[in-house]
Amino acid sequence: MTSFSKSIGMMKNVSTTAEPVATKRTHSAPPPASAGQEDTWLLEPEEELRARVSDLEFWYGDGTQAIQKLNMPLVDKRVTALIGPSGCGKSTFLRCLNRMHDLYKGVKYSGEITLMPENVNLIELDPMVVRLRVGMVFQKPNPFPKTIYENTIAGLRIRGIKKRAVLDEMAEKSLRQAALWDEVKDRLHQSALSLSGGQQQRLCIARALAVQPDILLLDEPTSALDPIATARIEDLLNELEGQVTILMVTHNMQQAARISNYTAYMYMGQLVEFNETDALFTRPKCQRTEDYISGRFG
Amino acid sequence: MLNTPDDQLRAAVTPAPNFLRKRAMIDKLARCILFAAAAVSVFVTIGIVYILVSESLVFFENVSLTEFLTSTTWTPLFAAPSFGIWPLLSGTLTVSAIALSIAIPLGLLLAIYMSEYAPPKVREAVKPVLEMLEGVPTIVYGYFALMMVTPLLQAFIPGLPGFNMLSPGIVMGIMILPYTTSLSEDAMRAVPRELREGAYALGYSRFYTAIKVVIPAAISGITAAFILAMSRAVGETMVVAIAAGQMANFTFNPMEGAATITTFIVQVSLGDVRHGSIGYQSIFAVGLVLFLMTLLFNVIGFMLRRRYRLAY
Ligand SMILES: Nc1ncnc2c1ncn2[C@@H]1O[C@H](COP(=O)(O)OP(=O)(O)OP(=O)(O)O)[C@@H](O)[C@H]1O
Ligand SMILES: [Mg+2]
């Protein structure tokens, strides 16, 4: 057990395969740390971690506390889905991981987001340095008003890479990764705004991948897309498994089940359950998780 | 009839019988008023163009177009008059160029600062000041140029005459600066937040986000701001009339005094030149040139905007 798991006294360190299928809830299992927090479950993954979130709290400039004592591991090179009802703080949490909040006045963090294996606390780093390593894809495609090619390599340019050959190679590689190459290879120098919404979103993914991020954050990347474009992006995320550490917010539980290795369920700024995706959807440990995934909630 | 609560509700939300007719009437009325407003402005424009063109034709019956476009002396009020537009054009272009070389870069920098850097409090304080500056009558700027800026410049540039184009050019630049700033800032602030965040998410700094993403995205609005600034600079009268000396002079040297198209027009229309004389007619011809110049700017601006038009 790490010191981290001790810090939230109620955590059970069980691998899901060892866990008997019959147990669905953990109401009674460990003695609750406090009376109000009767029902949370945090799997300690056996795989290598890329980051660990410890007691993260976050406040917006107006004083709203949107994240409360959040603990969660982020497994290296795996896809983790983040689910939960609207307004529970998924986007807020995601934007802590690339320090996007720092663009706005008066925000406050406490706790730690430790990047592994370097063992540095991301909250103490320069936000710009963090964003050089943690990429993000937004809900609404947001290509820059430039050509497709320039969009793809925008992040490389900002890192001072000038060699044409490198840029060309990376552009092709990341467009291929984003399953967009065949559609755009003959129009690389046209405006990115001439692409369809789904293509624009894949371009944004290519743009984020081109800089080889350590962690890729995706905030409901398919919610504005049709089923075909969605399927393509899901395929792409499946392929990225094993290459990049991915944390993705989604409202679509089938999607979470299809593409993620781990799933985290958030509710009211807190993490309720973190588990392997299969386990979370078929044998949720917490009553609240079960209520949510079975649609009994809200 | 209305026995159940449901019936009562339905009755309450049923429109009055003449509702549709009334709405159609209001619609028609609104359309008429709006059309009338549009028609008036088009009509006024056509009227202006008609007068400019017809009065210019009278002028060109007496003066050949070749002389007008090639001669480099403008002495319409002399006994042996000469009607070459070039001295007025050179004055107009020189003063405008000085003004724009101040107003455009500085306006863009200020706009970047205001939209991307300034904390809301600073912005709220600066915006009204800029708007106030826009409200200062141009004659005040004219005397500011003549009485303060010229002597100041003379301290640095020995031999600078009291009437020169540099001083009014600089002051005109300051005068239209709030205008370009506030229009470019509006354009930049209209760039959606997601686009900025997309840049920051890639590791862009604030400055690179501004110049590589926000400005390209706002380019159509910024171009419009610059075009309007250009039109304003060539059309500006008072500052130049007061501080540049009103002597038509074919030169692009900012150290010399000169007249511009607009200063010549006020000079003649306020002076004792006989109506209908050739000197008087000449103001319509130069006015037409001014009109064509601003029209050209606007067409260029329109085309640039089309070229950069963005669908976000
Ligand atoms: N800029 C802000 N200032 C203050 N409070 C905010 C701000 N943005 C979000 N919040 C609040 O923080 C909480 C979490 O919001 P967040 O956007 O993270 O939810 P979410 O889980 O992403 O929801 P959704 O699924 O609808 O996207 C909400 O209660 C919201 O009202
Ligand atoms: Mg959200």
Whether pLDDT at B292 is above 80:
yes
Residues B21, B120 within the same domain: no
Of the listed ranges A5-19, B98-112, B212-226, B228-242, the one predicted with least confidence: A5-19
Ligand 1 proximity of A298 Cβ (cutoff 6 Å)? no
Residue B81 lies in a domain: no
Task: Decide: B200 and A206 in contact? Cβ < 8 Å.
Answer: no
Residues B148, B201 within the same domain: yes
What is residue A264's predicted lDDT score, i.e. its pLDDT?
95
**CB-neighbour burial class of residue A156 (10 A; exposed 0-12, middle 13-18, buried 19+):** buried
Residues B50, B161 within the same domain: no
Domain of B246 in residue numbering reads as 86-311
pLDDT band at A277 (very low <50, low <70, confident <90, very high): very high
Q: How far apart are CA A132 and CA A98, in angstroms?
A: 9
A24 to chain B, closest Cα gap in Å = 39
Residues B193, B105 within the same domain: yes
What is residue B309's predicted lDDT score, i.e. its pLDDT?
59
> What ligand has the least distance to the C-alpha of A85?
1
Residues B296, B247 within the same domain: yes
What is residue A297's predicted lDDT score, i.e. its pLDDT?
55
pTM of the model: 0.80
Task: Give nearest CA residue, ligand 1 atom 25.
Answer: A86
Ligand 1 proximity of A92 Cβ (cutoff 6 Å)? yes
pLDDT digits (tens, 9 = 90+) for B135-183: 899 999 999 999 999 999 999 988 888 899 999 999 999 999 998 999 9
Helix axes B86-112, B261-270, angle to 10 degrees: 120
**CB-neighbour burial class of residue B217 (10 A; exposed 0-12, middle 13-18, buried 19+):** buried
Whether pLDDT at B125 is above 60:
yes
Residue B80 lies in a domain: no
- Return the structure tokens found at B15: 């429109």
Residues B258, B182 within the same domain: yes
Interface check for B211 against chain A (CB to CB < 8 A): the answer is: no
Q: What is the mean pLDDT of chain B?
A: 88
pLDDT digits (tens, 9 = 90+) for B68-83: 888 888 888 887 888 8
Task: Give nearest CA residue, ligand 1 atom 12.
Answer: A66
Whether pLDDT at B109 is above 90:
yes
Residue B271 lies in a domain: yes
Number of structural domains (chain B) is 2
Residues B122, B212 within the same domain: yes
Residue B277 lies in a domain: yes
Q: What is the DSSP annotation of A25-45? A: --SSSSPPSSTT----EE---
Dihedral class, residue B81 (left if φ above 0, else alpha if ψ from -120 to 50, else beta): beta
pLDDT digits (tens, 9 = 90+) for B245-276: 888 888 898 888 888 888 888 888 887 788 87
Ligand 1 proximity of A9 Cβ (cutoff 6 Å)? no
pLDDT digits (tens, 9 = 90+) for A100-132: 999 998 999 999 999 988 899 999 999 999 999
Residue B272 lies in a domain: yes
What is residue A38's predicted lDDT score, i.e. its pLDDT?
46
> What ligand has the least distance to the C-alpha of A86?
1
Q: What is the DSSP letter of A267?
A: E
Count of CA atoms in the C-beta half-sphere (13 A) of B150 = 25
Interface check for A204 against chain B (CB to CB < 8 A): the answer is: yes
Ligand 1 proximity of A275 Cβ (cutoff 6 Å)? no
What is residue B99's predicted lDDT score, i.e. its pLDDT?
94
pLDDT digits (tens, 9 = 90+) for A52-61: 999 999 999 9
State which amino acid sits at residue B194: E
Helix residue ranges, H only, chain B: 5-13, 19-62, 65-70, 86-112, 120-135, 138-144, 150-156, 166-189, 193-201, 206-208, 215-217, 219-235, 238-243, 261-270, 278-308
Tallying the residues shown for chain B, one arrives at: 312
Between residues 42 and 71 of chain B, which touch chain A (CB distance below 8 Å)?
none
Task: Give nearest CA residue, ligand 1 atom 28.
Answer: A87
ipTM computed for the complex: 0.83
Cβ-proximal residues to A32 (8 Å cutoff; 6+ apart), any chain? A10, A38, A39
Interface check for A287 against chain B (CB to CB < 8 A): the answer is: no
What is residue B257's predicted lDDT score, i.e. its pLDDT?
87
Residues B35, B129 within the same domain: no
Residues B53, B155 within the same domain: no
Instruction: Answer with the one of B23, B46, B62 that is the final residue of a domain.
Output: B62
Q: How far apart are CA B279 and CA B248, in angstroms?
A: 14
Task: Give nearest CA residue, ligand 1 atom 7.
Answer: A60
Please indicate whether, in this complex, the C-beta atoms of B119 and A145 are within 8 angstroms of each other.
no
